[in-house]
């Protein structure tokens, strides 16, 4: 129940370790040094659930660790919260010998990575993702950032972690909704890159929802490998890494309009992937039966498949025009041609987008 591999980025290379109950064993001792200063950043929910286990690991190995906790929620992935963390680091007289530990989901990982990248012009940080979504996606690749009221992830940096340590045990306390949200990104990887993986998900979704250890280990490892391969080719998203945003242009628009409430990230991406697939249908790239197959799999993972009825159509265009993939004020989308093949399309007609959303609403 242990898998390791290196993300080879020359001087920024780092290992990804995936296993079960890693902090109970000695697999991780080589990744933490007694002479370093560690500041663990987490949220108040995780503090109650897991902090005793984490502290026991560090204390038993005579490694000093300090804790900064923030409220739980996407709305706290902000410049204000980043400033609060930086203020705490300054009060603690933290220098460049400090290593931050992101212990949490995508919000904690993105926020901690962002703070690490700007504090004293850059210090090291370690990712210990605790949600499925962060384990299969957000913790790998070095994207950091915070949200703005007008757009998701509009303020950020590329800053690679020192290590990524993925302990599947942390998934045991996730709500069913949070778990399903993570599987949205899993499905995304299969649609973008790997038809055989999509087939595997169709056959194993029940085992995954039951947190079957072997299935889960394979699933997380597969996603991390797929993402690392694209990051190696295009670390700073100048070309092919943009493919990973399949479903995100529509999805981020929903999240931004909702004020980062009501929909979890994976839920918004689930809807976004369906809208992108229907866009591809209208443009003649994707067969309808493939879209229906995608919808069926997302439903099996208990994910939403309809856009929110209370979001005005014009709001989609407003927020989609602020997407990072756009160029010269045109809306660009990642559209599937078949399972395992997606392509980037530029200057998508706004009338097509509005038609897709209108026809996708739950009747």
Rounded Cα gap, residues 6 and 12, in angstroms: 11
Q: How buried is 125 (Cβ within 10 angstroms: 0-12 exposed, 13-18 middle, 19+ buried)?
A: buried
Q: From CA 111, how far away is CA 106, in angstroms rounded?
A: 8
Residues 191/298/306/342 CA torsion (nearest 10 deg): 0
| Ordered structural domains, the chain, with CATH | 2-173 (3.40.50.1970), 176-360 (1.20.1090.10)
pLDDT score for 103? 98
Reported residue count of the chain is: 363
pTM, rounded to two decimals: 0.96
Q: Which residues contact 97 (CB under 8 A, 6 or more apart)?
A: 36, 37
The predicted pLDDT at position 179 comes to 98
Strands 14-19 and 37-43: what pairing? unpaired
Please write down the HEC assignment for all residues of 38-95. Answer: EEEEEEHHHHHHHHHHHHHHHHHCCCCEEEEEECCCHHHCCHHHHHHHHHHHHHCCCC
Task: Give the residue numbers annotated as catalytic, written as ranges.
Answer: 121, 143, 185, 227, 237, 241, 245, 248, 252, 265
Check residue 324 and give its pLDDT. 76
Residue 328's pLDDT is what?
64
pLDDT along the chain (363 residues), means of 10: 95 96 85 92 96 93 95 96 98 97 98 98 98 98 95 95 98 97 98 98 98 98 98 95 97 96 96 98 98 98 97 96 79 97 95 97 91
Whole-angstrom CA distances from 14 to 30, 139, 236 are 13, 12, 16
Residues 16/140, Cβ–Cβ less than 8 Å: yes
């Amino acid at each position: 129940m242990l898998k390791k591999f290196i993300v080879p980025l020359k001087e920024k290379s780092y290992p990804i370790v995936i296993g079960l109950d890693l902090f109970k064993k000695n697999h991780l001792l080589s990744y933490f040094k007694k002479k370093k200063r560690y500041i663990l950043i987490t949220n108040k929910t995780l503090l109650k659930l897991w902090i005793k286990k984490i502290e026991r690991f560090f204390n038993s190995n005579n490694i000093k660790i300090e804790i900064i906790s923030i409220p739980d929620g996407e709305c706290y992935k902000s410049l204000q919260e980043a400033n609060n963390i930086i203020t705490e680091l300054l009060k603690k007289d933290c220098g460049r010998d400090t290593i931050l530990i992101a212990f949490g989901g995508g919000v904690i990982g993105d926020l901690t990575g962002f703070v690490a990248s700007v504090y004293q012009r850059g210090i090291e940080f370690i990712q210990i993702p605790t949600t499925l979504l962060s384990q299969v996606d957000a913790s790998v690749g070095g994207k950091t950032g915070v949200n703005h009221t007008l757009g998701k992830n509009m303020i950020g940096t590329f800053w690679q972690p020192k290590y990524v340590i993925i302990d599947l045990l942390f998934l045991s306390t996730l709500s069913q909704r949070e778990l399903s949200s993570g599987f949205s990104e899993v499905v995304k990887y299969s649609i973008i890159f790997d038809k055989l993986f999509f087939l595997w998900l169709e056959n194993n979704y029940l085992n995954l929802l039951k947190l079957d250890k072997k299935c889960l280990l394979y699933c997380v490892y597969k996603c991390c490998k797929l993402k690392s391969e694209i990051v190696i080719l295009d670390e700073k998203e100048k070309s092919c890494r943009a493919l990973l945003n399949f479903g995100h242009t529509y999805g981020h628009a929903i999240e931004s309009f909702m004020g980062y409430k009501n929909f979890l990230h994976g839920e918004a991406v689930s809807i976004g992937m369906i809208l992108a697939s229907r866009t591809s249908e209208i443009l003649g790239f994707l067969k309808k039966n493939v879209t229906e197959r995608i919808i069926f799999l997302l439903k099996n993972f208990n994910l939403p498949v309809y856009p929110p009825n209370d979001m005005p159509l014009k709001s989609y265009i407003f927020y989609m025009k602020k997407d990072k993939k756009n160029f010269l004020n045109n809306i660009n989308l990642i559209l599937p041609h078949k399972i395992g093949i997606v392509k980037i399309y530029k200057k998508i007609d706004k009338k097509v987008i509005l038609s897709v959303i209108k026809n996708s609403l739950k009747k």
